[in-house]
Amino acid sequence: MNARRRDGARPGAEEPVVPRADPRSYYGRPVIKEPAWGSPEVPGYLFLGGLAGASSALAACAQLTGNRELARAAKAGAAGAIGLSLAALVKDLGRPQRFVNMLRVFKVTSPMSVGSWILSGYAPAAGAAAASAVTGRLPRAGAAATAAAGLLGLGVATYTAALVADTAVPAWHEGYREMPYLFAGSAASAAGGLGMLAVRPENAGEAVRFAVLGAATELTAKSLLLRRLGETAETYQTGRSGPLMEAAEVLTAAGLAGAVLAGRSRAALMLSGAALLAASALTRFGVFEAGRASARDPKYTVRPQRERLDARARQMTGGRVPG
Amino acid sequence: MTIPEIDPAARAGYAAHPPRMGFFTDTSICIGCKACEVACKEWNAVPEDGLLLTGMSYDNTGGLGASTWRHVAFIEQPAGGLLPPAPDDDVPADGGGVRWLMSSDVCKHCSDAACLDVCPTGALMRTEFGTVVVQDDVCNGCGYCVSACPFGVIGRRESDGGAHKCTLCYDRIGDGLTPACAKACPTQSIQFGPLDELRERAQARVGELRDSGRAEARLYAEDPSDGIAGAGAFFLLLDEPEVYGLPPDPVATTRDLPQMWRHVATAAAVLAFGAAAACLRGGRRPT
């Protein structure tokens, strides 16, 4: 097991540049636990929660500009997506009948606690906004619910980044600076995509612009995230995550181009919108799988920590490499 | 460099509380008998955790989890394992032989416990002894603690859906008894007591070992200035932590949470701005 250690290099010997050997481990077993969260429930929720939150923000704006067709579609989409989200979240619990314990305390140290409270305000507001828009009843209450859902939706679409980053999972935690922007962009792209899919071209302007801004943010944040992660970026580029993230990127780029070029073609708008929705979902599944992979292999846990320790030791010895 | 040490029980709101209790596991005298594993299971009525042969030396337990609260690791090394490898790997520098490392792992009861921080129900709590326990009647099995623990200690049990881990025998130490694993340990490799005392004892022991030529002896997770503000259960190791399956420099993920929230707030503002920008350019329309 231990014979792999090769750090006693001969001084002065010319050595080719070789890939770094894997760090030592206990029979290759993971150091941290693989997330207990299930798929498709949790990545599905990351997608649907983002779609719902950003759709509510889009609906509130569309309401202000008087674009009723888009507002109605976005509200209905938000209500449907958040309903599915809640079902997925409850189903993922080990003890679903105790889901209400989430509201037993409020803890700012737990993104899941903060998220539960946001959702418990957001979901009724999104539901009321949709009900009013679809039935045409209680327009004032509907407008208030639309505003509340729009505001809380911003939280719903972004807190999930802290939810995954506030773990020991290397592919998630080390990306905590970029993940919120990636999730916000992905959410906006999905919500815009849904709008493009649902409304007539003359009323799709807001949705197209929201989608374009979202998709551009998503692509930028993703490349910054991968650069930040160093070697751990592998977990997004290989294994189960690799093809998902790649497909997401292609579809985002295609949807983005389509959104810009579609003009008044309903078919092109619908196709681009569907591509963006699919891309957002694939991104969330890709992020989820990268986290799992990074937890499974001890090297993603050990190596950054070992490098941190070595850097600290170098600092203390004034630049000399100890030993 | 000295950071004022955290008193976790006081921070959790216990005005007057007993001294912080913990484990010092001196792996240099562990004989791998697994009495700790058995005693823990017996006392805490922890269910069976699989009857498999792993092929990992004498370790057929694997690692800590929902139904494994003590785990003895077995590592077989070439006796000269700590020396630089011989020029020819086939001929061991010391002429052969094996050195055994055995170590009984357990929940660290961190001063900065990420599992406790992220628990959304309050099921995970700090006791008056400064330890961390799960209240099984509150836990709803969300699994957040499982991903938050930097040591991979806590797990979710298939059979009941709840999260479980070592309680440092909360039900025994409240009555002045020694935790089951420490009580059963025949070599006093597992020592239980007030953390202050254990630290003194550990410093003396590591000094003794180093003086006798065991330069590789080191303490793990006892330092209050580390990424978890020191552990309630710490170890004396004879090799790097990762060799035992332990993270070399664990950090409680929640230390970065204030920054995470700041980025989330900024991202939410960006999203609001994006929605506003998308609509502003649209202008008002007649219907």
The span from the CA of B227 to the CA of A306, in Å, is: 13
- What's the rounded mean pLDDT across residues B169-176? 96
Q: What is the pLDDT of residue A23?
A: 82
Pairwise CB contact (< 8 Å): B260 & A158: no
Quick check: A313 and A188 in contact, CB under 8 A?
A: no
- Relative to beta strand B233-237, strand B21-26 is parallel
Total domains in the fold of chain A: 1
| Domain locations in chain B as residue ranges | 8-252
Confidence check: pLDDT of A280 > 90: yes
User: Quick one: fold of B8-252?
Assistant: Alpha-Beta Plaits (3.30.70)
Pairwise CB contact (< 8 Å): B78 & A65: no
Pairwise CB contact (< 8 Å): A298 & B242: yes
The span from the CA of A153 to the CA of A178, in Å, is: 20
The span from the CA of A244 to the CA of A220, in Å, is: 17
Residues of A in contact with B256 (CB under 8 A): 165-166, 173, 176
Q: What is the pLDDT of residue B128?
A: 98
Picking from A112, A167, A169, the nearest residue to B120 by CB comes out as: A112
Give SS3 for B73: strand
Would residue A97 count as lying in a domain?
yes
Q: How far is CA A5 from CA A16, A228, B23, B132, B247, in A?
A: 18, 28, 31, 36, 17
Q: What is the pLDDT of residue B1?
A: 43
- Rounded to the nearest angstrom, the minimum Cα separation between A246 and chain B is 24
> Which of A210-214, A218-222, A315-319, B121-125 is least confident?
A315-319
What residues contact residue B270 under an 8 Å CB cut-off, 6+ apart? A181, A184, A217
Would residue A13 count as lying in a domain?
no
Distance of CA B93 to the CA centre of its chain: 35
Locus of tokens 């005298």: B29
- Whether the CA torsion B98, B99, B105, B108 is positive or negative: it is negative
Residue A81 tokens, joined: 């997506």
Confidence of residue B97 (pLDDT cuts 50, 70, 90): confident
The span from the CA of B280 to the CA of A213, in Å, is: 14
**Length of chain B in terms of residues written:** 287
The span from the CA of B234 to the CA of B160, in Å, is: 30
Q: Each residue of A166-192: pLDDT tens digit? A: 999 999 999 999 999 999 999 999 999
Q: What is the pLDDT of residue A20?
A: 58
Q: What is the pLDDT of residue A316?
A: 84
Q: Which of residues 122-181 of B touch A (CB under 8 A)?
A: 122-123, 138-144, 146-152, 154-157, 160-163
Would residue A25 count as lying in a domain?
no
Picking from A210, A301, A302, the nearest residue to B275 by CB comes out as: A210
- What's the rounded mean pLDDT across residues B205-233? 96
The span from the CA of B162 to the CA of B138, in Å, is: 9
Would residue A29 count as lying in a domain?
no
Locus of tokens 């037993």: A104
Q: Find residue B125's DSSP bridge partners.
A: B133
Residues of the domain holding A259:
35-311
Q: What is the pLDDT of residue B29?
A: 97
Residue A46 tokens, joined: 């990351």
Q: What CATH number did the domain enclosing A288 receive?
A: 1.20.1630.10
What residues contact residue A126 under an 8 Å CB cut-off, 6+ apart? A52, A56, A75, A78, A79, A82, A145, A149, A153
Q: Residue A159: which of B255, B254, B256, B260 has the closest Cα?
A: B260
Q: What is the pLDDT of residue A207?
A: 97
How crowded is the C-beta side of B215, counted as CA atoms within 13 Å? 3
Quick check: A114 and A158 in contact, CB under 8 A?
A: no
Q: pTM for the complete prediction? A: 0.92
- Relative to beta strand B190-194, strand B218-220 is unpaired
Q: Find residue B73's DSSP bridge partners.
A: B103
Q: Each residue of A67-88: pLDDT tens digit? A: 999 999 999 999 999 999 999 9
Q: Which of residues 13-32 of B touch A (CB under 8 A)?
A: none
Q: Find residue B77's DSSP bridge partners.
A: B99
Picking from A110, A181, A308, the nearest residue to B267 by CB comes out as: A181
Q: What are the φ/ψ torsions at residue B73 (nearest 5 degrees)?
A: -90, 140
Confidence check: pLDDT of B44 > 80: yes
Q: Which H or E run includes A63?
A: helix A41-65
The span from the CA of B72 to the CA of B74, in Å, is: 7
Confidence check: pLDDT of B85 > 90: no
Q: How far is CA A312 from CA A175, B93, B222, B230, B241, in A?
A: 22, 32, 18, 18, 17
Q: What is the pLDDT of residue B78?
A: 82
Confidence check: pLDDT of B84 > 70: no
- Rounded to the nearest angstrom, the minimum Cα separation between B25 and chain A is 18
Residues A267-299 as b/e (b if ≥16 CB within 10 A, e otherwise) read ebbbbbbbbbbbbbbbbbbbbbbbbbbbbbbbb
Other CB atoms within a 10 A radius of the CB of residue A197 amount to 20
Look up residue B231 and give its amino acid. A
Quick check: B198 and B179 in contact, CB under 8 A?
A: no
The span from the CA of B210 to the CA of B204, in Å, is: 10
Q: What are the φ/ψ torsions at residue B115 (nearest 5 degrees)?
A: -60, -45
Confidence check: pLDDT of A276 > 50: yes
